[in-house]
Amino acid sequence: MPKTFQDAIEFTLKLNIRYLWIDSFCIIQDDLKDWEIESSKMADIYQQAVLTLAATASSGDTKGFFSEKSSAINHTEILLPGGRTSGIAIRQRPRHWNKVTANDPVRFPLLSRGWVLQERLLSPRILHFCASELVWECREESICECGGLHQDLSPGAAFYILTEQYKGMKQQSEKTDTLTTPRSLWTRVKSYNLGSNDGDKGEQIAPAHARTKSSPFGIRKTWLTSAPSPGSRATPARSILPVDTPNVARSQALIAREEEVPGFVHHYHRLVQQYMSLKLTRPTDRLAALSGICARMQHYRGDFLAGLWWDSLCFDLMWYVDRHALWHLNAIRRDEYFGPTWSWVTATSPIQYWQDVSNYKDTVEHFKEQLAHGLAEAQRTYTTPLILNRARIGYKIDVPGKNKFGSVTAGMLTVEASCVPALLEISYAGKCIQNKEEELAMDYFLLLWTDVSEDHAEVKIPFFADYRLEVDSQYRLFDDAELWLLLIHPQVSLVLSQAVQDGSAVYKDGEPLWQRIGIARLSEGLYDTRVVDWMRNSTIRTFKIV
């Protein structure tokens, strides 16, 4: 029996506790059916445990609870008043984890594992066995033997408090349906512009400048290298959000755009960001290792879509991989299926969310100025962000096992929103040193056509790729690859390419399937220097994204 298991049994007996649950003992190894059944119970197991024992400083199950290296202790004599002396023992202050070192694989190997995140968040009490001391975490406090750990709420306490708070909000919203409740927020946004609660379709917004169907990628390659001249007829970039329609009250639309996203949306985003920086022995466990947390969240959320939530789908879609994370050559999209490309589950690098995209409006101040001067009024109807068109979203998720928050075998989003075609440009950005090895750094750009003057011109916009697009694989893309930008928020678009399998385009029921390859956001700097309205020539189109 591994040393860590022996220590766990011994410690449990000393606490006079009769039952001990060890996952690798209590779940039949290499039995997929038993794994699916037991993994769906993880939330209950950890949340109802009397105590969770964590071999935090152990690098494996053969190392045991306690470090083989004892802390160096120095003995010295000190002089006391009256000429007396006394012995004193001195040791180096233990190192504790914080937001930076919580996933340090050297000092705290256990905390770098993906499965451990939900174990910490769900367990009411955890006892950490560290290199030189014990650390206690519960729903009241975190405390260590040396007294040097900051007296703050443990991660589990924070998660428990927020979960109970949001459950209370949900219950209150079902009674009152006030403006500040999540239910009211999503309901009114869903009914805005297209569709309503009962699925009726409202008046369709027609594109003002539709591209001809015969040549959707008729983009000339005389790319714009400077900002438009002051005298050019540049479209105000802040006018892309529709501000009124004949069938929807203006006050309702403005309220929906101004309201902040409920806090539980950002809370989940932070959890996912932290989780994606941790390690998994089997990447296919990406969803299963978070399923316990999601099971607890469902009480105040709703349908779970392969790592995203239906009630905040458009905001959940806005994850991105930092450009520096793609400097690693292993930042590729694997051939093995982990989930749909629109979910962060498929990312092989840490992901992030924009914290300043917190509502439905264009947050750039210039947009407000244009509205105040009435300059956007004449062009209010030529874009439809997906975030204001939720009635036109459909989804289908295939979950093979009994854990509905676990691994999926297929997933498809059917969406309808404004879009524009673009071409891909991959450029060499230089060399970098990663883990003492020299690697190539690449930049990715979108080349798209826009009206910025009397003469048509093209602009080059950087975007965040989800993986190394140029690395040889079935997902490899080349320069001038045909892409589409799908507007999901006034400032943010998904970057899509046609799905390919074995070198051939993939179709379903005669319609092409699409895959996400990245995400683009027009920054304030790009707005201000180029006054680019990237959706000026948009059309409304339906995409099936897998």
| Residue 375 and residue 491 share a domain | yes
Q: For 93, which DSSP code?
A: P
| Residue 502 and residue 436 share a domain | yes
Does residue 80 lie within any of the structural domains? no
Does residue 79 lie within any of the structural domains? no
pLDDT at 68: 65
Q: Name the domain boundary from 107, 130, 153.
A: 153
Does residue 166 lie within any of the structural domains? no
Check: CB of residue 122 under 8 Å from CB of residue 47: yes
Query: 54-63, 176-185, 335-344, 387-396: lowest mean pLDDT where?
Result: 176-185
| Residue 492 and residue 431 share a domain | yes
Cα dihedral 240/246/248/253 (nearest 10): 30
pLDDT at 27 over 70: yes
Average pLDDT, the chain: 77
pLDDT band at 286 (very low <50, low <70, confident <90, very high): very high
pLDDT at 178 over 70: no
Percent of the chain beyond pLDDT 70?
72
Check: CB of residue 209 under 8 Å from CB of residue 537: yes
- Distance CA(4)–CA(58), nearest Å, equals 8
- Distance CA(285)–CA(114), nearest Å, equals 9
Does residue 174 lie within any of the structural domains? no
- Provide the number of structural domains found in the chain: 2
The stretch 424-429 carries a mean pLDDT of 88
Does residue 466 lie within any of the structural domains? yes
- Give 361's contacts (C-beta < 8 A, 6+ positions apart): 241, 257, 258, 367, 490
Does residue 75 lie within any of the structural domains? no
| Residue 211 and residue 106 share a domain | no
| Residue 194 and residue 147 share a domain | no
- Distance CA(123)–CA(146), nearest Å, equals 23
Does residue 177 lie within any of the structural domains? no
Q: Beta strands 52-54 and 125-129: pairing type?
A: parallel
Q: Counting Cβ atoms within 10 Å, is residue 88 exposed (0-12), middle (13-18) or buried (19+)?
A: exposed
Domain that holds residue 305: 185-545
| Residue 297 and residue 249 share a domain | yes
Does residue 159 lie within any of the structural domains? no
How many CB atoms are closer than 10 A to CB 294? 21
| Residue 336 and residue 204 share a domain | yes
Amino acid, res. 140:
E
Q: Name the domain boundary from 129, 153, 177.
A: 153
Strand partners, 305: 308
pLDDT at 53: 96
pLDDT band at 69 (very low <50, low <70, confident <90, very high): low
| Residue 306 and residue 418 share a domain | yes
Q: What is the pLDDT of residues 380-400, one digit of tens each?
A: 446 788 988 888 899 999 998
| Residue 538 and residue 443 share a domain | yes
| Residue 256 and residue 148 share a domain | no
Helix axes 182-191, 155-176, angle to 10 degrees: 60
The stretch 34-51 carries a mean pLDDT of 86
Q: Name the domain boundary from 107, 131, 153.
A: 153
Amino acid, res. 369:
E
| Residue 484 and residue 380 share a domain | yes
pLDDT at 307 over 90: yes
| Residue 195 and residue 135 share a domain | no
